[in-house]
Chain A
């Protein structure tokens, strides 16, 4: 059950991730959600939003700015803290692992904010997993290109067929106990800058 009276502030420079979380919160019935996509004039904007819960991307260096604001109670109207109860350790762990920092106004009952924090954790995690997967896919694509290029060089240098060039790379990788892409990189480096992408001489 959601608590529509909770004011929630999201600080995330990643527009997509912020939208995903915002949408989730609104669907769950939280109507008072403010999103900050940059941290200019952060203090003023936090005071204006007067949030009960603040979620911030852990990659944002401004997290330390928040921590200090919460130390100085005269700055924000109500003191805010990351969960300080020993029993919150699991929640902190889950939050940190998913890449989100969650702060809650002092004195607010944990049950009231639990679902907000849980949602932030799960959406951040889903988004970051997806991003990591994309990074890995991009890397794999980059590696494929390197291998193609090394094959081309070997074909040119030694008059090999494509299959023979590939077999040579694999053999070298296995005997040196290295990854195929590392061998490919070595072949490209050794060939010098004179070879273009497909392995032909410039």
Chain B
């Protein structure tokens, strides 16, 4: 059975690549055709128009499309997560220098560096300098929401005190070098690429803000899933097994070798290997440090599609005024994530199957996001809200 799946060149397309290249898809009787894309908008449009059966997708994109925010309304579903974490917030070396003068310390993953950034922002405003520009990859992305959460946590208004701009990941290091942007939030290997190029300093992995935070999912049309339940279940099993294979340390070298090929991610094998192992070199010339649970392809039920993730995305969309809160949206948001399909497909493969669909998400500042209290989410919210 042929299945066409689109992907973007990022570390977390790994389970798709491994499923296609190392026989996990074939074992399920699937002929998995991967198509590399150049933009998230293309990924969305090609899924919606049926060019792709499914795709490596920014998790919030499935929610945005289901609600019809910013584009034609097409119900999409997320029946499996493609792993957790893998993102980092990186700034230019000149900005890092200014933050360090305000007390930021390399390797401090608390909110203190963001607070140092706040002092830089205030000083710039006083000096009538242009606001800083920070890059991210798409309006409906975890990167956007994580960056906003981090900024807001230190009292920086992401819509007023700084400028947020979308820059495609492969261009980020160059944009940083050229001074076009002052920092960014992106998935690996693109932060490491900027450090390796000698132009960036990683301030924090976003998993420090939100441990076991969601990132990409496999997204497909709800209608496609209904028409091809068997094919979808086969794909879920192949991806789950690929994820557990990727996680094993002894396989990291092989995964990095595959991803480094130009038709996949096409960046340095060494940097990819490092990211798989959860090692980040924070600044040029600095020895890599181990960040536990940085990129989690499988353990901690990493592939389970938690409905609470979808609800958090919706809360961010409301908070940052991408959409007006409506109680009617909630049902649609919940229906986007499909733990039922996940459980049905993976019942017999020994996967960890959480019994509930929701969990309280815990953040760095000790606060939690309680999905049952979503009705309290309104824009505007205090900047330091969870």
* Residues of A near any B CB (own CB < 8 A): 43, 58-71, 81-86, 88-89, 92-93, 96-97, 101
How far, in whole Å, are A63 and B8 apart by their CA atoms in the complex? Answer: 14
Q: Among the listed stretches B38-46, B242-250, B255-263, which one makes contact with chain A, having 4 or more residues with CB under 8 Å of it?
A: B38-46
Q: Give the number of A-B contacts (CB < 8 Å).
A: 77
* 5 chain-A/chain-B pairs, Cβ below 8 angstroms: A58-B45, A66-B41, A68-B165, A84-B70, A92-B45
Question: Does B49 interact with chain A (Cβ within 8 Å)?
Answer: yes
Residues of A within 8 A of B46 (CB): 96
Q: How far is the CB of A83 from chain B (nearest CB, A)?
A: 7
A43, A71, A88 — most chain B CB neighbours (10 Å):
A71
Looking at the assembled complex, report how far the CB atom of B52 sits from the nearest CB atom of chain A, in whole angstroms: 11
Chain B residues within an 8 Å CB radius of A96: 42, 45-46, 49, 51
Assembled-state Cα–Cα distance A89/B166 (Å): 26
Cα separation A97 to B48 with both chains bound (whole Å): 12
Q: Given A67-B41, A96-B45: A61 and B71 within 8 A (CB)?
A: no
Please name all residues of chain A whose beta carbon is closer than 8 Å to the beta carbon of B51 when the two chains form the complex: 96-97
Q: How far is the CA of A63 from the CA of B39 in the complex (A)?
A: 6
Known: A84-B72, A92-B48, A96-B49. A63 touches B322 (CB 8 A): no
Q: Which residues of B contact A (CB under 8 A)?
A: 38-42, 45-46, 48-49, 51, 68, 70-73, 137-139, 164-168, 170-171, 322
Dominant secondary structure of chain B at its interface with chain A: loop
Give A83 to B68 CA distance when docked, in angstroms: 11
Is A71 in contact with B322, judged by CB distance below 8 angstroms?
A: yes
* CA–CA, A87 and B68, complex, Å: 13
Q: How distant is the Cα of A82 from the Cα of B74 in the complex, in angstroms?
A: 14
Closest to A58 in B: B42
Would you call B49 and A71 a contact (CB within 8 A)?
Answer: no
Q: Let me know if B49 and A93 touch, CB within 8 A.
A: yes
**Pairwise interchain contact B170-A61, C-beta atoms closer than 8 A:** yes
